[in-house]
């Protein structure tokens, strides 16, 4: 195996490691909903209302950072629904 081939293989392995690190913190819609104890449709509704956790659109897929869910939960502490 030549030097260029080894260098290319190392670069590819390094980019795969970076990609895994970047996406390891992201949860899909179902995982985020399960973590919050709500349905995926509730997350969608909150997004439409502008009241839910920050989400990331990756192509057609929706992802949530675990840290963003924790931060959003922190903003909900002591929140009470208005009486009807």
Q: Where are the domains of the chain?
A: 24-75
Task: Answer with the residue of higher pLDDT: 66 or 78.
Answer: 66
In DSSP notation, the chain reads: --HHHHHHHHHHHHHHHHHHHHHHTEEEHHHHHHHHTS-HHHHHHHHHHT-S---EEETTEEEEEHHHHHHHHHHTTT--PPP-
Q: Is the pLDDT of residue 2 over 80?
A: no
Query: CB–CB of 32/43 below 8 Å?
Result: yes
pLDDT digits (tens, 9 = 90+) for 18-68: 555 666 789 999 999 999 999 999 999 999 999 999 999 989 999 999 999
pLDDT for 4 equals 72
pLDDT for 70 equals 93
Query: CA-CA distance, 67 to 17, in Å (whole number)?
Result: 21
| Backbone dihedral region for residue 76 (phi beyond 0: left; psi -120 to 50: alpha; all else: beta) | alpha
CATH architecture of 24-75: Orthogonal Bundle (1.10)
pTM: 0.66
Tell me what the mean pLDDT of segment 9-25 comes to.
63
pLDDT for 69 equals 96
């Amino acid at each position: 195996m030549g030097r260029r081939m080894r260098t290319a293989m190392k670069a590819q392995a390094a980019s795969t490691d970076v990609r895994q690190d970047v996406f390891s913190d992201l949860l899909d819609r179902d995982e985020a909903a399960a973590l919050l104890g709500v349905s995926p449709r509730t997350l969608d509704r909150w997004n439409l209302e502008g009241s839910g956790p920050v989400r990331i659109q990756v192509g057609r897929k929706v992802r949530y950072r675990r840290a963003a869910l924790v931060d959003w939960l922190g903003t909900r502490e002591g929140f009470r629904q208005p009486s009807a």
